[in-house]
Amino acid sequence: MNEILLVSAGGFLGAISRFVASKQIQIWNKTSFPAGTLAVNLIGAFLLGLLFGMQVKGELYSLFGIGFMGAFTTFSTMMLESEQLIHTKKNKLFYSYLIISYIIGIALAFCGLIIGEMV
């Protein structure tokens, strides 16, 4: 039961953080490129790699790794925004979004893992 509460609390904080960060970044961006979702997903990839590299386990991982990071990052929004870019025939933005999301996301997760192992 305690783990469920920790995941719930982390999820609440992660969802609110994603909403605020993504909206603010998108306001600054002023283009149709989904920079807000991209930014939170890349930050999340790094932070989850960091937690994993630091070998965070137990209740702390339930709170931050599963709860917060699970709600902070958003694969479903990324897929919807990708579809919207295709639908509006913004192919260059679509390919840029996917390439940056996956390649930079994996690189940041790896960097977080390495840094976490050094801590």
74 is in an annotated binding site: no
70 is in an annotated binding site: yes
Angle at 57 between CA 54 and CA 61, to 5 degrees: 95
Q: How far apart are CA 77 and CA 99, in angstroms?
A: 16
Q: How far apart are CA 54 and CA 37, in angstroms?
A: 25
- In single-letter form, the type of residue at position 42 comes to L
Q: How far apart are CA 77 and CA 38, in angstroms?
A: 10
Q: How many CA atoms lie within 13 A of 102 on its CB side?
A: 7
Residues belonging to the binding site are 70, 73
Residues belonging to the binding site for Na(+) are 70, 73
